[in-house]
Amino acid sequence: MCSEHIPTTAAEDTKPSLSRRTLIRGASAAVVAGGALLGGAVPALAATSQNGWPASEKLPLTAIKVGKADFPPGVLKGNVAVVLTYVAQQFNAHVEPLHDGWCWGFSYRKISGSTQYSNHSSGTAIDCNAPDHPLGKEGTFTKAQVAAIHKIISYCDGVVRWGGDYNGRKDEMHFEINVGPSSPKLPALVKKIKG
Ligand SMILES: [Zn+2]
């Protein structure tokens, strides 16, 4: 599976993560100012993945099964699962059939060469038919397939990003949630999908 995502533009998903860190640092400073901090301990920064979602080894995951494929060990329960299942279903129906054993979901790990957690670490990313669309390789889909992928992405109103659209190193197997946990765009898309 892919585990090597790198940020592609400055305006990317680092924003929710940074703002969260700033908040936590602010809270820590307030505690110090109040003299309540014992032993000089500094609260650890809560880990978030690149897109601002909590990254942890223990997350509430749900298995998803689309066509012949599942995405072990699953993705984050709730709205994220609804959206990523939709993406996988559309991919299976309009891009190419998903292969059993070639698709992946949650994986707790940092991006190689970075201190940042991959969006797989928050259960907010999936890889589709990984062996046919390896990390860093461009042009693994036909023009028609790319058009079908962009149709799916377009339907998702900015909530989902495709790794083939990264400005830097491409990751054509990869789809991820592209908004933070508090974005109203996510429940709006779920409503649209369910509607
Ligand atoms: Zn991936």
pLDDT tens per residue, range 45-60? 679 999 999 999 999 9
Domains along the sequence of the chain with CATH: 56-194 (3.30.1380)
Q: How far apart are CA 81 and CA 56, in angstroms?
A: 17
Residue 112's pLDDT is: 67
Question: Ligand 1 centroid vs 127 CA: distance in angstroms?
Answer: 5
Question: Ligand 1 centroid vs 25 CA: distance in angstroms?
Answer: 30
Q: Of 73, 131, 68, 130, which is closest to residue 105 (Cα–Cα)?
A: 73
Instruction: Indicate if the pLDDT at residue 44 is higher than 90.
Output: no
Instruction: Indicate if the pLDDT at residue 161 is higher than 70.
Output: yes
| Lowest pLDDT segment from 1-10, 26-35, 94-103 | 26-35
Q: Say how far residue 101 (Cα) sits from the centre of its chain.
A: 20
Residue 26's pLDDT is: 39
Question: Ligand 1 centroid vs 2 CA: distance in angstroms?
Answer: 4
Q: Cite the DSSP H helix spans in 37-119.
A: 79-94
For range 171-194, the mean pLDDT: 98
**Which helix (H) or strand (E) segment is 69 a member of?**
strand 69-70
- The tokens of 41 are what? 């301990």
Indicate the SS3 state at residue 161. strand
- The tokens of 4 are what? 């090597």
Question: Ligand 1 centroid vs 42 CA: distance in angstroms?
Answer: 33
Percent of all residues in the chain with a pLDDT value above 70, rounded to a whole number: 76
- How many beta carbons lie within 10 A of that of residue 13, not counting itself? 26
**Average pLDDT of every residue of the chain:** 84
Question: Ligand 1 centroid vs 30 CA: distance in angstroms?
Answer: 38
User: Residues 6 or more apart from 147 whose CB is under 8 A from it?
Assistant: none
Question: Which whole-number Å values give the CA distances from 53 to 17, 59, 116, 119, 120, in the listed order?
Answer: 8, 11, 12, 8, 10
**Does the global pTM surpass 0.85?**
no
Residue 1's pLDDT is: 61
Residue 110's pLDDT is: 84
Percent of all residues in the chain with a pLDDT value above 90, rounded to a whole number: 71
